[in-house]
């Protein structure tokens, strides 16, 4: 992603919420970062130096997937250090945040398991393994300062530090069909729904619409992605 800028509505200078990243956006990012011709650093057109290459792209996708699946802001992911990662078995890792987020209780680790191969672009276990194999980081922060370059055809200025967190929240709710209490428990958020903390992550006028108006009652529209739990791909699954 190119931008972490704040945008404001012209009238009243009201902050505009960042648009949620969708699973298909992460697929585009993964496809762009795994193209062979992108493994070599490229020269920046607006100044000296180079950007990209295999190592940087592995780092970025690890950041993307951790932020998306663990419902974190970008700045929160960048605080993770090597000692915050524990390897439980060959396909399972644990990430314990070095801070408490918004939860009033003890810090609970994120237990992440390797996802099916069809979900490689969403899998933080695979992405983190590839990044650490390249970077060989043993101590200190997992992610150093990274720059920004290249694009995947999305307007960068509607996205911000919360985009992956919001997108991950919507993915858990819509695609994986987690309940609100389960999402709050996983994200370390308060389950006191009187505060409606989770609503701002699930609903925003600025998000990309899931359906066009003519698709709501179109029962012949294409099937969705197949569910790995129940095997169904219908819209009512």
Instruction: Give the separation between CA 22 and CA 236, rounded to whole angstroms.
Output: 20
Taking only the tens place, the pLDDT of each residue in 56-71 is 888 989 999 999 999 9
What total number of domains does the chain contain?
1
Residue 3 resides in a domain:
no
The predicted pLDDT at position 66 comes to 95
**Domain coverage including residue 68:** 17-236
* Overall pTM > 0.95: no
Residue 11 resides in a domain:
no
Kindly list the distances between the CA atom of residue 146 and the CA atoms of 53, 95, 107, in Å, as whole numbers in the listed order.
Answer: 12, 21, 28
Give me the residues paired with residue 87 across strands.
93
Residue 62 resides in a domain:
yes
Kindly report the CATH number assigned to the domain that includes residue 118. Answer: 1.10.443.10
Residue 7 resides in a domain:
no
Instruction: Give the separation between CA 115 and CA 120, rounded to whole angstroms.
Output: 7
**pLDDT confidence band for 11 (50 / 70 / 90):** very low
Taking only the tens place, the pLDDT of each residue in 161-213 is 678 888 888 999 888 888 888 888 888 877 666 556 677 777 665 556 667 76
**In whole angstroms, what separates CA 55 from the centre of its chain?**
19
Torsions phi, psi for 185 (to 5 deg): -65, -40
Task: Order the strands of the 92-95 sheet from edge to edge.
Answer: 85-89, 92-95, 110-113
The predicted pLDDT at position 110 comes to 93
Residue 5 resides in a domain:
no
């Amino acid at each position: 992603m190119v931008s972490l800028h704040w945008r404001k509505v012209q009238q009243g200078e009201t902050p505009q919420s960042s648009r949620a990243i969708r699973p298909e956006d992460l697929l585009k990012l993964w496809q762009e970062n795994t193209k062979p011709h992108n493994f070599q650093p490229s020269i920046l057109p607006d100044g000296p130096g180079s950007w990209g290459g295999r190592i940087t792209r592995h780092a970025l996708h690890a950041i993307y997937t951790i932020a998306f699946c663990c419902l974190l802001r970008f700045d929160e992911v960048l605080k993770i250090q090597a000692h915050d990662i524990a390897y439980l078995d060959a396909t399972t890792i644990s990430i314990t945040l070095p801070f408490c987020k918004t939860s009033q209780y003890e810090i609970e680790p994120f237990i992440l398991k390797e996802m099916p191969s069809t979900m490689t672009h969403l899998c933080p276990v695979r992405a983190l393994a590839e990044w650490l194999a390249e970077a060989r980081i043993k101590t200190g922060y997992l992610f150093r300062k990274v720059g920004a370059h290249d694009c995947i055809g999305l307007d960068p200025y509607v996205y911000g530090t919360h985009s992956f967190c919001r997108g991950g929240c919507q993915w858990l709710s819509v695609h994986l069909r987690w309940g609100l209490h389960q999402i709050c428990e996983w994200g370390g958020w308060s389950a006191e729904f009187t505060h409606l903390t989770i609503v701002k992550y699930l609903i925003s006028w600025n998000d990309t619409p899931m359906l066009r108006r003519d698709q709501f009652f179109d029962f012949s529209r294409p099937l969705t992605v197949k569910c790995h739990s129940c095997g169904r791909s219908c819209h009512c699954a």
